[in-house]
Structure 1
Amino acid sequence: MALNVSGLVAVVVFYVLTLATGIWASRKTKKEKNKKPSEVAMVGDRNMNFFIGLFTATATWVGGGYINGTAEIVYLPSRGLAWVQAPAGFALSLLVGGLFFVDPMREKNYVTMMDPIQETYGNVMASLLFIPPLIADIFWFAAILASLGATMKVILDIQGYIAIIASACTVILYTSLGGLYSVAYTDVIQLLLITASLWLCIPFAMMNSATESISYTATHNSFQAPWIGKVEMQYFGRWMDDFLYLVLGGIPWQSYFQRVFSASSPKQARLISYLSGLGCFVMAIPSVLIGAVAASTDWNQTGYGLPTPNDRGDASLILPLVLHYLCPTYISIVGLGAIAAAVMSSGDSTLLSGSSMFAHNIYRKILRKKATEKDVLWVMRASMVVFGTLAAALAFYSHSIFDLWFVSGELVYALLFPQLCCVLFVHGTNTYGSAAGFLLGFLLRLLAGEPSLKIPPVICYPGCSLVDGAYIQLFPFKMVTMLVSLLTIVSVSYLAAFGFKANLLPVEWDVCKIIKDDQVLISLRQKEKWENVQRMENCEREGEAKSNGVL
């Protein structure tokens, strides 16, 4: 296979166009002189154009992993359409976010999703809870960069590391220059390209002579199991657990709340959330069709040959393989542009979210409380370079990185979602409950094991089975871990507050200062009054003893 020169030129043109758009959009950031520069970079001017906001919110979720992963699951003989949960899961996640989380997060003009947690539970817990989403962002960027590298190797026959480095540098450059404005405006171009490119490729793939009708192979497939798929009863618990993880675990992400904070009003933020959920669902349709085409193809009639992609372990590359072997060359190049656009639309969001939380919640509020706006902005840019470089380096370990991202995403669901719910909806929770919920939730998730990382389970939930030499939890343990963490936060918070207020615990032990100054004064006075009463009773007993001649 020779280097595809025309394809390489087309990709370079796309990268230049994206970079130019990002640089142009960064000029808008500089014009906002009446705003704090750091907040302009993080949340725009809180007056983002509605349609721009809608495009960037949709593009955040419709990334390289989303369109590649959807096609892969539909194609896999052991999965099929029945296991494609992300489109409906993310759509419901954005619906739930718009219904319940937008208004309380917009009330106090927060800059990041960590602000209410830091405000309620303090700097230590904010620092701990910052770690899971940061790691997940880095791993996610690394996973989609690796996916892009593999795709370009299939279609253009260039080394994957070239695509990884070029993509990472492009994203870091325009994101650091313009912040949210650059991300939002480039997302418009990227989302339009993804939509047009994938839909353009589908007719050519479906009409290829090696492909049977997908309507027929949905139930009667000559090449493998029907692509419609099914969920066996024994796997229903796991299916439901993964689905709830997508719905609820998709909420506590800074990349989502960044769009919520940038809208001009809570009403617009809610509407953007609802419509972007619908957009995510619709954007999955091309990937579903491509996966169905792959499952309906006799690969022996193509240049790929046999064994099939599934037998060779290339299922994760099924979308670029369909573009390359079932479409004309110029069409596959257009499809490659869609994948590159999807990678950038997610990559810039992850960089911006992680660096925003670090600069605002860690650097400004903990490490250097007297930092100037210029200092915060430069720390934000520096952290983008560090996080982006780290993601690019990790991208060369694609298989393990994707597994690590999935596990770190589960930690966000199990640890961060309960904390966010408590600070927004449960009155009276405190740092003691937060710490207890964090530690217990982390311990339960660790003890449940993780087959992809070869960690055996210590806790075997009902239905735990040995499959291909690894134990698989079929029970909805992720949901249980999240609920246990939530209940622990609430119960420990109330018990600790009651213990201090009722003088069952010494006020001096309140290292987290959950008892306010006036309550401390009341408690001390009550303690002093009780000690005076005890002293008087002792004196009375001593007086009685003397009068009776005992002393």
Structure 2
Amino acid sequence: MNVKVLYKCKTTFAPLNSSPSKYEISWINHNGCKYTKCAGRSLGMFLATLTTAATMVGGAYINGTAESMARDGLLWTIGPVGYNLSLFLAALVYVPKVRKAEYTTIFDPIQEKYGNRTGGLLFIPELLGDLFWEAAIFNALGATVSIILGIEMSIAIIVSACIVIIYTFFGGLYSVAYTDVIQMFFIIIGLVIALPFAWTNPAVDFNRIDKTWKGEIDSKQIGIYIDTCLLTLGGCLTWQAFYQRILACKSVSIARNSALLGASISALMAIPPAAIGVIGAATDWNMTSYPQNSTLSYEDWAFILPMVMEYLCPLAISVIGFGAISAAVMSSADSIVLATGSVFSRNIYQNCFRPQASDRELTWVLRFSIIVVGTLGAVIAISANSIYGLYILCADAMYVVQFPVLTCALWVKFANTYGAISGLVVGTTLRVLGGEPVLSFPAIIKYPGYNDKLGQIFPFKTFAMLSCTFSLLSISYLTEYLFTKRKLSKKFDIFNCYGPKASKCKNEANDIAMRVKNEDDVKNETDKFLNN
């Protein structure tokens, strides 16, 4: 229903095929923005917990953890620690609020607060983060296949991408959720079985790394270290792949508790790949059949987990380990593809361009999005050479822009579209001009202490995030003061932030969302709506 209504609203509801829940309740507010609530969510504690853990424990997680542990040591293996702490924080602070509000995606509160078109712009950081995550896990599978089976890495990436796209294309959320549970067991079995064989291999001498396995932080790297810690801590707070599961849970308590348990399982699952990384660093590779010398290059460390599986374990164990890594890749790859496709089809396509789109149309837009996202992720994976670099980079854009924007949308009443746009521009500009070595992007702005070898040693990513937050709050406060105190005529309110509010409509939609549980409820509510 494409209707713009002043001073009142209209509400519709219908069965869905592509949503994590069964029924959708939509309303259009005073400025024509369409919002959505859902009812009939059905993920229970067991399934929600395991699928949340499996979403985190992907190929990038286990391969990246092993890579960083082997090359840089424990202190620099920040990713698994920061990301899991981020899930804990999200479970305690963000999850209860967004699940209670019955949102469909994490972009619903953003578009509800700032408007559909602005919310569409704010989808870009999420898209970039998901593409980098997708690339990292496809890269992990490619590295594994190239070491163990000798298959060309690009071919392995293309094949794995096709498999993920196909079963996500046809299966939707439940194919992803149930395969996640199966894949989690494969990961646990494969990695744990491989550990004792690799640990006791004659080529492994832990005396080689007695003073280096913990890692070392140079005084010049303190800024980089702080920046990375804060980035990973804030990286999952706005992650749609995570909320895809949480928002489909039966209740608020199940959503919160499953997120906490999922984060705990995910944290425990970092131990086996970290141990494998230590084993790889302690190995004299000249004593193995590895066709290189014992000095590994920077790029070689990205292959350390499959190298340990292939050259330090018996053949049968190598095959099981390969299955574990493949399962890890699939468990996260499908999650990212579905999450990004869901946000694009609903929050971009429907909310911004086709409010009257039917469920069938949205389903096909979702499927098209799945193909595009999977393809782009594969392309990036083929061109990248560091799994851990992509693994950290995936939270970058979401931390700088999306984290402050979502937080303000949920808790700051005066935050508005003017502030969100200014924050987006300021944060993105400061971050992009700071450069990115993982993508070979040069630094245009050289922040204090810039080092030709280390690059930016100032925590400029956190600086960009704080600048985004300050711009959002200050511009929002200023514009609210100007328009509400009548210092500026409302005819200049181009985003219609201070027109009549339709809170009654939103409350009506919330009430319907609580009542609609089955087909009979839909019929009854429809009759009431038509009679009114």
CA contact (8 A) 1:132 1:408 kept: no
Distance change (3 Å), C-alpha of 1:392 and 1:91 = closer
Pairing 1:219–2:210 present:
yes
Q: Contact 2:143–2:153 at 8 Å: present in 1 too?
A: yes
Which consecutive unaligned segments of at least 5 residues does structure 2 have?
A: 1-13, 23-37, 502-532
Task: State whether residues 232 and 392 of structure 2, in contact with CA within 8 Å, keep that contact through their aligned partners in structure 1.
Answer: no
Q: Which residue of 2 aligns with 1:527?
A: none
Q: Does 1:128 align with 2:113?
A: no
Q: Residue 48 of structure 1: which of 25, 29, 43 is its match?
A: 43
Alignment check: 8 A CA contact 1:92 1:247 kept: yes
1:295 maps to: 281
Bigger drift between 450-459 and 117-126 goes to 450-459
Q: CA deviation at 1:409?
A: 3.1
Which residue number corresponds to residue 331 of structure 2? 345
Alignment of 1:334-483 (within 5 A): 334-399=320-385, 406-407=392-393, 409-467=395-453, 472-483=455-466
> Structure 1 residue 363: deviation in Å?
1.7
1:95–1:274 CA contact under 8 A, matched in 2:
yes
Moved more, 497-506 or 191-200: 497-506
- Report the equivalent of 1:97: 90
Of residues 50, 67, 76, the one that matches 1:72 is 67
Q: Please tell me the residue identity of whatever aligns with 1:37.
A: N
Would you say 1:256 and 2:236 are equivalent positions?
no
Over 3 Å counting, the alpha-carbon distance change for 1:44 and 1:426 in structure 2 is closer
Distance 1:382 1:94 in 2: 30
Q: Which residue of 2 aligns with 1:36?
A: 16
* CA offset digits 1:376-402 (Å, max 9, x no partner): 112111211222123233332123898
Which residue of structure 2 aligns with residue 196 of structure 1? 189
Q: Secondary structure at the match of 2:445?
A: coil
Q: TM-score, normalised to structure 2's length?
A: 0.85
Please list, as runs of the form range in 1=range in 2, the aligned pairs for 1:227-246 lying within 5 A after superposition. 227-246=213-232
- Cα 1:134–1:378 shift into 2, 3 Å: same
| Amino acid of the structure 2 residue aligned with 1:496 | T
CA contact (8 A) 1:431 1:514 kept: yes
Conserved 8 A contact 1:149-1:160: yes
Distance 1:44 1:300 in 2: 60
Query: Partner of 1:169 in structure 2?
Result: 162
Q: 1:337 to 1:44 in 2, by over 3 A?
A: farther
Change over 3 Å in CA distance of 1:380–1:45 after alignment to 2: farther
The 1:312/1:241 distance shift into structure 2, 3 A limit, reads: closer
**Alignment check: 8 A CA contact 2:126 2:398 kept:** yes
Shift of 1:504: 2.5
Task: Rate the CA distance shift 1:413–1:405 in 2: closer, same or farther, 3 A.
Answer: same
The change in CA–CA distance for 1:458 and 1:145 in structure 2 (over 3 A counts) is closer
Query: Pick from 159, 170, 175: which aligns with 2:152?
Result: 159
Tell me what 1:113 maps to. 106
For 1:292 and 1:54, locate their aligned partners in 2 and report how far apart those are by CA, in whole Å. 29
Mapped partners of 1:429, 1:245: distance in 2: 23
Q: Distance in 1 between matches of 2:161 and 2:440?
A: 30
Q: Secondary structure of the equivalent of 2:305?
A: helix
Structure with more helix by fraction: 1
Equivalent residue, structure 2, for 1:3: none
The CA distance in 2 between the partners of 1:459 and 1:158, in whole Å, is 41
Mapped partners of 2:48, 2:497: distance in 1: 39
Aligned pair partner of 1:492 in 475, 493, 496? 475
TM-aligned CA distance change 1:516 to 1:41, over 3 Å? closer
Q: Which whole-Å deviations, capped at 9, do the CAs of 1:65-112 have from their partners, x for residues lacking one?
A: 111111111111xx1111111222122101110111012101221000
8 Å contact 1:41–1:181 — kept in the other structure?
A: no
Summarize deviations over 1:484-530 as a string: whole Å, max 9, x none: 11121111001011112233223221101112249xxxxxxxxxxxx
Shift in Å at residue 35 of structure 1?
4.4
How high is the sequence identity, in percent, across the aligned residues? 42
Distance in 2 (alpha carbons) for counterparts of 1:188 and 1:407: 27
2:131–2:394: 8 Å Cα contact kept in structure 1? no
Aligned to 1:332: 318
* TM-aligned CA deviation for residue 283 of structure 1: 0.4
Unaligned regions of 5+ residues in structure 1, if any? 1-33, 221-225, 519-551
Given the superposition, is the C-alpha separation of residues 290 and 391 from structure 1 closer, same or farther in structure 2, using an over 3 Å criterion? same
Shift of 1:305: 5.3
* Higher RCO structure, 1 or 2 (CA under 8 Å, sep 6+): 2
Q: Which letter does structure 2 place at the counterpart of 1:56?
A: T
Q: How big is the shift at 1:252?
A: 0.8
Q: Which has the larger radius of gyration?
A: 1
Contact 1:433 1:490 in 2 (8 A): yes
What is the DSSP-based 3-state SS (H/G/I as helix, E as strand, rest coil) of the residue aligned with 1:310?
coil
One-letter code of the match for 2:173? L
Contact 1:194 1:338 in 2 (8 A): yes
Q: What whole-Å deviation, never above 9, does each CA across 1:308-342 have from its counterpart, x for those lacking one? A: 35237311001101111111111111111111111
Matched, 1:322 2:322: no
Q: Cα RMSD over matched residues? A: 2.2
Map 1:129-144 onto structure 2 (within 5 A): 129-144=122-137
Q: What letter matches 1:38 in structure 2?
A: S
